[in-house]
Structures are given as structure tokens and as C-alpha cells.
Amino acid sequence: MTVQILMPALSPTMTEGNLAKWLKKEGDTVKSGDVLAEIETDKATMEVEAVDEGRIGKILIPAGSQGVAVNTPIAILLEEGEDESALASAGSAPAPAAAAPAAAAAPAAAPAPSAAPAAAAAPAPAAAAPAAAGERVFASPLARRIAEQAGVDLKSVRGTGPHGRIVKADVEAAKAAGPAKAAAAPAAAPAAAAAAPAPAAAPAPAKAEGVDAKSLADKLGMAYTAVPNSGMRKTIAKRLGEVKRTVPDYFLTVDVEIDALMKVRAELNGRSDAYKLSVNDFIIRAVALALKKVPAINASWTDEAMLQYSHADVSVAVATPTGLITPIVKKAETKGLADISNEMKALAKKARDNALKPEEYQGGTISISNLGMMGIKQFQAIINPPQACILAVGASEQRPVVKDGALAIATVMSLTGTFDHRVADGAVGAEFLAAVKKLLEDPLSMLL
């Protein structure tokens, strides 16, 4: 029978994506693992691989379509021995809320979809039974990699992806449950719920809070050009708006003298061409070590318990043409300056090329945002939830300081921490900043 290729969920929070490009055309033969298409998520462009073997019978969603909901059929695969006559009984997919380039210029023609809960985007598919001995296991490449690293047997995992495919969330659930519960099945959804219902007419998008800029501009006759929001821009607006409404934050600032750090940095950079250390690399290292000294900051708030993380996974803000993204230096407390430097350069390049994998930017236990290179002396950053802290780094500059009762000149940098008051009180935030300051002012201690 024909196989529907569905829009995959490429991250746990993805509810829709843009089908940027088809890499296969109708009539092409595909095998498991072949790259079929490129999907744009809110943070990156990802490749979609074939799970089944066969021939592309019909492409249902054309390249360039936007706002395609997860689990929407995007193509039909003909299995061995089937011809085009099988397409008649395969059905067709509903047209996505696509936006042609011409239509995108008229903002009224393609309103931005409202931020609906992920659960409302598509019905949850029923979990497939674990594979029996000798049966082929269908799993995404990311799920296979995570399973291999965690020592999870994929044959004991129930897949909840399209056609029972094992996805990242399934492996993580099996990993959390432990070996004894890896094969435990969630309650099967009723058949009626598993079947994708015919899409209802899209509701009118909810009006944004505050002043309606478009209505005001139209009313006053103000000339403007409507530039459609990217998926990343919408996500940034939604998440940061939620933070300002829900997170009780506070701000602390400390000045750090970095003359010793600059001297050590110059000496280390002169010893090898294998790395080029930046001040930011020292900051990442110092933040990671400070989190181990003040573990209360390396945590997240939940109503039931505080989640205190075992490792310092440091998210670093990188500006891209489409918006801000925070690739993660994982287990940064275990890495030296050279490793952090080289890893961060590779992550920043991938971020600017829109090539980060979800596991490279999702998660993190603390964030760093550095605007010092743009001449900003001091600023307050917005927390990246569910993290409890973000450190805003200002420019280093020569300032007058008092040492031993005498006026002197030192290279000083201001660091401002934004803290979630639910996780850490002011005294704890101050203790963390003091630990960061001490490490940066005594950089040799970071090399031990």
C-alpha cells in the first residue's frame, strides 16, 4: 500500500515548519536514509530523510510552502509493485497555510498564525509496538545517535513518530524510564483520535497585546513596507514576551579588571596557531566553573521541585541575519580554553549558515550575551527560559580605579546578571557574580 510522508517534528517544540526545498522529484526512487527535502524550523534548516523505500508517487506540498503543520502529509510514496493508479485511493493533503513570495508582500493576505499550543497543532499519533527480534527498526538519525550514546536498545522503544518511527523524544523517555521500563507502552490512543481529522478553517489570529502598529500606521497614513516575520522572529517575540510576563527577575552588575586576563590571553595565543582565544572564551570558562562553585544558579524552577543540573551547558548568543540563536557549549566545566574556543567558532559559523542541529541549540543551563564588541558599556539581557540566569557582557575599556589609595588606570569590563528570583535570591546571584569576577581577575586559576 502507499505510504504517506508526513511533515516531521524536528524538535520537541516544533508545531509547524516551512518546506524550503524538495531534493527528490516525482518518479524518483528512494531508499531509507536518502535526503528528501529541506525543512525550515524556527531556528534552523534541517534535512528530512526517508524512512521507507519506494518511489515518489506524488508531491502534495510544493517547495516554498510555509506554515505546514507537523504530521501533515507532504508526499506519497509508492511501494514496490505499485503504480500511479494506487494514488487515487491514497487521498490528498490539505493545502498548507502557504505564502508565495508575491502574497507575502501583502500582509493582509497572509496573517501570522496565532501562537497555538503545540497539542492543538496535530493529534498525537498512537505509539507503535516495539520491534520484535529480527525486525527492522525505523528511527530518525538523531534518535539513533542519542540511543547509541545512552546505551538504549532501540528494539525496546515504542515509536510515536510517523508510521511508528522512533524519534528523539521516544529515546529520551526510554532513557529516563530506565532499562526495566524502556518497553513500557503509553496508553494507546483511540483509533478515532489517531486519525488525522480534516482541518477546520483557520481561526482568525489573536491580536497582539499593546498598540496595533499596523492599524495605527494605516489610520495616520504613515508609509511603511511590511517585511514578513520569519519563524525565528516569531519564536523570539513569543518566548521573550512570556518571560517578561511570567519571570520575576532582578539585575546585578559587577566591574571586572581584566588586565591580567589580557596578558595571559596574549601569551597563550602566541604559543600555538591551533587556537585563537578570545575574551569570550575566558568568560565561558569562568561562568562554567562559577556554576560548579554556586550550583544554585545552575537550576530551573518548576512548581514541584528545583531542577539542579549536573553540568554547565553554556548557551552563547549569536546574531544571525534572521535573528538571535544560542548554540551551546555542553559540559563546559570539563573543557579547556582551546577546546571551548574551537568549539564556539564552529558553532557560531553553523549558526550564521543556518545549519545548527536542534541538539546544538536546544537546552543549556545558563546564557551569555556579549555586546562588548559593539561598544556597549553595559546592558540588561532577558532570561532564556527555563534557565535561571543570563550574563550580559559589556565592552572592556580603560577606566580610572583606586588602588592602595592612589588613582590608577585599569582595563575594566562590566558584567550584568539577570536572575530568576524564584530560583535564586539576590545574595546567591551576588555570590555567583563574585565567583565569576574572581576567576576572570585571576585567569591562571582557570588553567588548573
pLDDT in tens, 280-330: 999 999 999 999 999 999 999 999 999 999 999 999 999 988 788 999 999
Can you give the pLDDT at residue 93? 47
**pLDDT at 189 exceeding the cut of 50:** no
Cβ neighbours for 113, distance < 8 A, ≥ 6 positions apart:
16, 67, 97, 202, 205
Nearest-10 Cα torsion for 325, 231, 173, 175: -30
What's the whole-number mean pLDDT along residues 268-273? 93
What's the whole-number mean pLDDT along residues 231-250? 87
Q: In the sheet where 249-257 sits, what is the strand order?
A: 249-257, 406-420, 389-403, 366-370, 314-316, 328-329
**pLDDT at 142 exceeding the cut of 50:** yes
Cα–Cα nearest to 260, from 50, 51, 439:
439
d(CA 240, CA 278): 29
For residues 114 and 16, is the Cβ–Cβ distance under 8 A?
no
Whether 311 is catalytic: no
The dihedral of CA 423, 289, 390, 149: what is its sign?
Answer: negative
Paired sense of beta strands 16-22 and 65-69, if any: antiparallel
Three-state secondary-structure class, residue 30? strand
For residues 47 and 40, is the Cβ–Cβ distance under 8 A?
no
Q: What is the pLDDT of residues 331-383, one digit of tens each?
A: 999 999 999 999 999 999 999 988 888 889 989 999 999 999 999 999 999 99
Can you give the pLDDT at residue 55? 85
**pLDDT at 256 exceeding the cut of 50:** yes
Can you give the pLDDT at residue 58? 87
Cα–Cα nearest to 21, from 36, 38, 4:
38
pTM for this model (two decimals): 0.63
Residue 178 grid coordinates:
530506565
d(CA 388, CA 381): 12
Residue 301 grid coordinates:
524552577
Residue 319 grid coordinates:
546574531
Can you give the pLDDT at residue 109? 39
Percent of the chain with pLDDT over 70: 80
Q: Which long-range contacts (CB under 8 A, 24 or more apart) does 190-195 make?
A: 191/126, 193/123, 193/124, 193/126, 194/123, 194/125, 194/126, 195/123
Confidence of residue 240 (pLDDT cuts 50, 70, 90): confident
For 233, half-sphere exposure in the C-beta direction (CA atoms, 13 angstrom radius) is: 8
Can you give the pLDDT at residue 299? 97
**pLDDT at 131 exceeding the cut of 70:** no
Amino acid at the residue 197: P
236: which strand partners?
A: none
d(CA 396, CA 376): 9
User: Which one from 144, 145, 276, 421 is the annotated catalytic residue?
Assistant: 421
Cβ neighbours for 442, distance < 8 A, ≥ 6 positions apart:
260
Can you give the pLDDT at residue 112? 41
For residues 423 and 408, is the Cβ–Cβ distance under 8 A?
no
Beta strands in 181-232, from DSSP E residues, in sequence order: none
Average pLDDT, the chain: 82
Three-state secondary-structure class, residue 342? helix
Lowest mean pLDDT among 87-96, 311-320, 405-414: 87-96
Beta strands in 336-435, from DSSP E residues, in sequence order: 366-370, 389-403, 406-420
Percent of the chain with pLDDT over 90: 44
**pLDDT at 181 exceeding the cut of 60:** no
**pLDDT at 253 exceeding the cut of 80:** yes
Cβ neighbours of 233 (radius 10 Å): 16
398: which strand partners?
A: 411
**pLDDT at 276 exceeding the cut of 80:** yes
Can you give the pLDDT at residue 266? 95
Cβ neighbours of 172 (radius 10 Å): 16
Can you give the pLDDT at residue 207? 59
Nearest-10 Cα torsion for 150, 154, 156, 159: 110
**pLDDT at 254 exceeding the cut of 90:** yes
Confidence of residue 12 (pLDDT cuts 50, 70, 90): low
> What 8-state DSSP symbol labels residue 80?
T
Cα–Cα nearest to 39, from 53, 58, 22:
22
Can you give the pLDDT at residue 292? 97
Can you give the pLDDT at residue 100? 40
Q: What is the pLDDT of residues 211-239, one digit of tens each?
A: 889 999 999 999 999 998 877 788 888 88
Can you give the pLDDT at residue 110? 40
Can you give the pLDDT at residue 235? 80
Orientation of helix 279-293 relative to helix 259-269, angle to 10°: 120
